[in-house]
Structure 1
Amino acid sequence: MFNDIGGLELVTLIVLAVLVFGPEKLPKVIQDVTRTIRKIREFSENAKQDIRQELGPEFKDFEFEDLNPKTFIRKQLENDDLGIKEIRNGFDLKKEMAEITDAVHGRDSESSAGSSPASSSGSAGSSSGGTVDMTKKPQKSDPDERPPFDADAT
């Protein structure tokens, strides 16, 4: 419960408790707090046992921690009934991104698949060099020409 409290924080809490409650009342306050925590834990355990009894024997191994979405997903990924690890290992994000970049720039993906982006950007034959100059303003070919209309964008 208090695993992430350091030594300095604990000393600060103790000093603060002594200042707020006083050295005479502090032991009684600590007893009351521990008694309340113990009662809450007992109530929680009794409620869990009652729920398990009401669910029946088929839910005998049911854990309430499984209701946490992170725990549920972690357990499902560990089972790997769907072959998720194979899908994850078969997917190469760098290759997919290189193919998308080649498609956007109009290059042939087979010819640039063997070369890395660093080697293709340094070649003298490429006009853009793999980078975009953001300081230049785009040139319009015709001032009367309207930009293309995209019905899906509106």
Structure 2
Amino acid sequence: MFTDLSPMKLFAIAVVAIFVFGPDKLPEFIQNAAGFLRKVRGFADSAKQDLRSELGPEFKDLDFEDLHPKTLVRKHLRDSGDLAALEEIRSALDPRPDLEEIAATVRDPAGAQKAAAEEAGIVSLTKDAASNPPARPAFDPDAT
């Protein structure tokens, strides 16, 4: 839960807590927060036990962490030794090849059409933009 907190961040949080709650009320606040966390943890544990007892004896070894979709897929695909299926799923869901194709088309749409026309032996009747740039209108300082 707090794996991404560095010691410097924890120190900053402690300093802010001292300023917000004051040094005399901070221990009381920490005790109340710890008690609240113990109650929430106890509530969650009792809910898990109730669920296990309601499901029956065949689910006594049920691990609730396995119900997370990533864990479920990882456990069943990696444990079965079917890493090829995992790579196939990963490559099918990877949008990078499609995005690269779209980016290439957007970067050079005229070149792709010209190359396709040359392959088919079709002569283009349109003017190239590079050979005849559009004329720039004259600047009139009195008009502005």
Normalised by the shorter chain, which TM-score bucket? 0.5 to 0.7
Unaligned runs of 5+ in 2: 92-107, 126-144
What is the DSSP-based 3-state SS (H/G/I as helix, E as strand, rest coil) of the residue aligned with 1:23?
coil
Counterpart residue number, 2:19: 19
How large is the Cα RMSD of the aligned pairs? 2.8
C-alpha deviation, 1:78, in angstroms: 2.6
Write the deviation string for residues 56-97 of structure 1: whole angstroms up to 9, x where unpaired.
0001111111110011011101331xx6236679xxx9xxxx
Bigger RCO of structures 1 and 2 (CA < 8 A, at least 6 apart): 1
What does residue 50 of structure 1 align with?
50
How many angstroms apart in 1 are the aligned matches of 2:26 and 2:53?
A: 41
- Classify the secondary structure of the residue corresponding to 1:3: coil
For structure 1, list consecutive stretches of 5 or more residues without a partner in the other structure: 94-133, 145-154
Q: Is the 8 A contact 2:77 2:86 kept in 1?
A: no
Matches within 5 A, 1:1-150: 1-80=1-80, 84-85=82-83, 134=108, 136=111, 138=114, 140=117, 141=122
CA distance in 1, matches of 2:85, 2:42: 45
Whole-Å separation in 1 of the counterparts to 2:20 and 2:86:
55
Give the drift of 1:14: 0.3
TM-score by length of 1: 0.56
User: Once superposed, which parts of structure 1, at least 4 consecutive aligned residues long, lie more than 3 Å away?
Assistant: 85-89, 134-137
Please give the TM-score of this superposition, normalised by the length of structure 2: 0.60
